[in-house]
Amino acid sequence: MTPFTRRVIHILKQIPAGKVMTYGQVAKAARSPRAARQVVRILHSMSKKHHLPWHRVINAKGQIVIKDDEERMEQKWLLDLEGVEISLSGYVNLEKYQFHYDIQTDENEFDQYSNKD
């Protein structure tokens, strides 16, 4: 597993219930601000194995963008269960629900996490 992938997994696990992050925000926090598509890949391929809160990641506009109807409805349902309001057009108010990951505060914890493998 690459250091970037480890960081992304760690960051995703820090998103609390009732909050969301954007793909680009996760990539930037993982020290690779242009790797939003890689975050999508990690979510797609590793969510089940690592029990990632995939439903808490949305696009930069605050929109749920999963193309599969069933998965999109599941994401909406899971966010709704956590108290995240979603507009009829599939948007989340980022000002209200966006989680701001603190890279500096979490560095030591990540270092401990990344040394487990």
Is 39 buried (19+), middle (13-18) or exposed (0-12) by CB count in 10 A?
buried
Q: Does domain 3-114 have CATH number 1.10.10.10?
A: yes
pLDDT band (50, 70, 90) for residue 1: confident
Q: Which amino acid is at 99?
A: F
Rounded to 5 degrees, φ, ψ at 62 are: 90, 20
Domain ranges of the chain: 3-114
pTM of structure: 0.86
Read off the pLDDT of each residue in 35-61 and give the average, rounded to a whole number: 95
For the stretch 57-104, pLDDT in tens is 999 999 998 888 999 999 999 999 999 999 998 899 999 999 998 876
